[in-house]
Amino acid sequence: MSSNPAGPLPLCFVVDDEPAIGRFVALALRGFGGVDVEQFIDLASMTVALGERGPDLIFLDISLGSSDAIEAIRHLSTVKYPGVVQLMSGSDAFLLDDVRLIGERHGLRMRPAITKPFRIEAIKAIIEEERLLLGGAHAAPTKPSEARAAAPAVDLLTALANDWVEIWYQPKINLDGLRVTGAEGLARVRHPEHGVLPPSAFLPQASVATLIALAERALHTVLHDASSMAAAGHRMRLAVNMPVEALLALPLASIAREARPKGDDWSGIIIEVTEDQVIRDIAAAHEIATQLRIHHITLALDDFGSGYSSLARLKELPFAELKLDRSFVTGCGVDAANAALCRMAVELAHRFGSLAVAEGIETASDLTTIRRMGCDTAQGFFFARPMPREALLARLLANGSSAFSSGFETDSEDGAARVSRKSL
């Protein structure tokens, strides 16, 4: 293993039962510099190594002799592997995409697959997109057991009672001018012993009543933060997620009247409700959505495409945004099927008179593709991870509305996004 005075180098596993192909990938990775590489020809040897040091990225062939990628995915899911999986194979693209979807259902971070034979440039692009060459972005060694211990399950009701809940914001970028025009509020728990915890640590075990309490807290926070941002000169539309039970149970209009920023130039906020939930009671959702519009609060249809709803029913609901399900967005730059689904969703949003929002943008390829389709807004790790309000304001105060897109340039001929190294 290479040494690094600033800490261990990012680590890649290469798992392929054809040693020659494995060596090709490993040599290519080592040639880029700044990356440690370990090569394996079967799942058993990878499993042993995984218990010693967790890799940041695994190049995984789908056929592994006596085992296969599905077995590997099951094992990685069991040990809560926190890194990224890059599938590779000579099999057809449809099989590769099915394997990738299975990995995502197991909670793994799956990259779009690459097919053999592949060139060194393809491997280099993967490393650059995952930012492994930036020296320390993923440097800390992590054992699977340590990853589990780092994100313990926390009772959400207890977190609310102790004021451990915070709302962090992920910027939303207007794709026409590449400017920040909004941000989505996402819940985090700042535990006194375990630090900041993601939703997976406190949402799955929460009751419906507790989720409604969280939605109410989040709504008050977003309304307050909208006032703070407006006072600082940044008028943007903030969004908050809400289960449909909260949409129906909370006195949203009263809360908005009391807590909203004062002044006629308020940009309003957005309440995001998932497609599969809102379809349960379209009539009630329509009534509430209409009332909220009086107070400059609109609805966004989240995870569109995952609920298989009747379009005839959805057109009854006045939503301002249609958010493409991230399973369609991820890999749309290289996956023709995903690109087709995204294109249909964008066109449908525009036919409904709504904005199309792509969430889960993580690569330059996906950004360029979704932008060419005429998608209005995007968010994802490619631009920025969720951050506390103070961090968002600091970036905006320092760089204005271009704070998260200073490395992007617009090609005047086709509107494509070009990315410089300083943005990564």
Q: Are 155 and 28 in contact (CB under 8 A)?
A: no
- Per-residue pLDDT tens digits for 349-399: 998 889 999 999 988 899 999 999 999 999 998 898 899 999 999 888 887
- Interior/surface letters 224-235, b for 16+ CB within 10 angstroms, e for the rest: ebbeebbeeebb
Residues 296, 299: Cα–Cα separation, whole Å = 10
Fold of 152-423: TIM Barrel (3.20.20)
Check residue 336 and give its pLDDT. Answer: 87
Q: Which CATH class is domain 11-148?
A: alpha beta
Residues 89, 63: Cα–Cα separation, whole Å = 8
Residue stretches of the chain with pLDDT short of 70: 1-8, 91-92, 117-118, 131-151, 264, 305-315, 403, 405-424
Tokens of residue 414, six digits: 């086709």
Picking from 212, 186, 208, 211, the residue whose alpha carbon sits closest to that of residue 197 is 186
3-state secondary structure of 298: strand
- Supply the pTM of this predicted model: 0.64
Task: Using DSSP bridges, classify how beta strands 36-40 and 11-15 pair: parallel, antiparallel or unpaired.
Answer: parallel
Check residue 112 and give its pLDDT. Answer: 81
Check residue 313 and give its pLDDT. Answer: 64
- Per-residue pLDDT tens digits for 287-304: 888 888 888 899 998 877
* From-to residues of CATH 3.40.50.2300 in the chain: 11-148
Check residue 424 and give its pLDDT. Answer: 28
Residues 2, 307: Cα–Cα separation, whole Å = 47
* From-to residues of CATH 3.20.20.450 in the chain: 152-423
Amino acid at position 87, single letter? L
**Radius of gyration (Cα) for the chain, nearest Å?**
22
Task: Using DSSP bridges, classify how beta strands 165-174 and 179-191 pair: parallel, antiparallel or unpaired.
Answer: antiparallel
